[in-house]
Amino acid sequence: MSDIPLRTADTEMDDGRNIDLAIGGLSGEGASQLTHGKTQREPGTRALWSRMPESSQADPTYYDWPMLKEPVWEWEIPLYYYLGGLAGTSLALASAAQLRRTDGLGDLIRQCRWIGIAGVTAGGVCLIRDLGRPSRFLNMLRVFRPTSPMNVGAWILSGAGGAAFTTLALSRTRGLLGAAGDCSGYLAGVFGMGLASYTGVLVGNSVIPVWQESRKVLPILFAASGMTSTASMLEILREDQPSRRVTYVFGLAGRIAELAAIKVMERQLSVVPRVARPLKRGKSALIWKAATIATGASLAMMMLPKQTRRKRVISGILGTLGSLMMRYAINAAGTPSAQDPRASFYQQRERLAAAGGTR
């Protein structure tokens, strides 16, 4: 054992992958992917070995060393989550309003479709920027793999964008082209519902403890937050009375559902307190609490009597901030959850105990 070299600060690449350059290296296409700055480690873990570790029999882990690699997603991905939710629920709302177009909702439909197109376009840019090259996104469309949330998401994003562009281009035509535009509008709504929720499936389909433990509620939370995002954007932009009624009901349902999903997620994570730690302490917890407060304040503002333009705008701004920060909080929670060597072990022992085994 004395001949085994210890990890030192001079030989370790502290970029989230922890490669000891004295005994190994990186090669291939993925080796060029970079992360910025040193990562924040969970208190109690050691970044480097100063001595040979010993495993504790009372609380065994793998030498107190994290068993998972940290996620390398940066700011583009949580922004993509927000834009996808905004675009998806906007297209779904436009599709629903299309059924009652005679009620003076034509302007609302066009507004929602423009928001949807803008969100899909900006979200695609964020996704491609994270991938590094546009060809990597196109390569995901070479096959259709229902078991891969990332592959299905690429198809949903492409389908939502294509259907939204088609229906907007044909919206003022008549005859067969007009009918095709209407069909594309309904199709965009279907893709929109998938776009608003699939990112929650993508995050939950992970070994990161805080994400995996909340995998059942994340798609609901993301979809509800998308409803809040769309309603908040319309509260800031729109004024006419028919649209205002629809926006109010849509936004009220979204905010209530989002706050309820947040509480359900916190309750699920509390089953294994170690897994819930990233949402109770540190930077991710601060963002999470701020998001919850902003969404709750937005709900309170829109329920005040004698609604004015100013109150609606404030409610819209608070709802937008809450929805955006919620995505960033969940993304930020992944790093300390992966770095905590006990989170995964405690999670596995709890499941083993629940299945009738021993801890």
Q: Tokens for 90, please give them.
A: 């906007």
**99 contacts: CB under 8 Å, gap ≥ 6:** none
Q: Which among 77, 70, 87, 72 has a CA at the least distance from the CA of 129? A: 77
Domain positions in the chain are 76-338
pLDDT at site 4: 44
Phi, psi dihedrals of residue 121, rounded to the nearest 5°: -65, -50
pLDDT at site 60: 66
Q: Tokens for 351, please give them.
A: 């499941």
pLDDT at site 318: 93
CA–CA distance, 320 with 231 (Å, rounded to integer): 9
pLDDT at site 30: 63
Q: Is 18 exposed, middle or buried (0-12, 13-18, 19+ CB in 10 A)?
A: middle
CA–CA distance, 66 with 3 (Å, rounded to integer): 24
pLDDT at site 299: 93
Give the DSSP letter string of 197-240. Answer: HHHHHHHHSSS-HHHHHTTTTHHHHHHHHHHHHHHHHHHHH---
pLDDT at site 141: 83
pLDDT at site 101: 67
CA–CA distance, 45 with 65 (Å, rounded to integer): 7
Task: Name the CA radius of gyration of the chain, rounded.
Answer: 23
Hey, is 19 helix, strand or coil?
strand
pLDDT at site 46: 47
Residues of the chain with pLDDT under 70: 1-19, 21, 28-64, 101-103, 354-359
pLDDT at site 63: 63
Alpha-carbon separation of residue 272 from 206, 344, 346, 353 (angstroms)? 17, 10, 7, 12
pLDDT at site 254: 92
Q: Are 217 and 261 in contact (CB under 8 A)?
A: yes
Q: Are 223 and 87 in contact (CB under 8 A)?
A: no
pTM of the predicted model, to two decimals?
A: 0.78
CATH, domain 76-338, list 1.10.3860.10, 1.20.1630.10, 3.30.420.40, 3.40.190.10 = 1.20.1630.10
CA–CA distance, 303 with 216 (Å, rounded to integer): 30
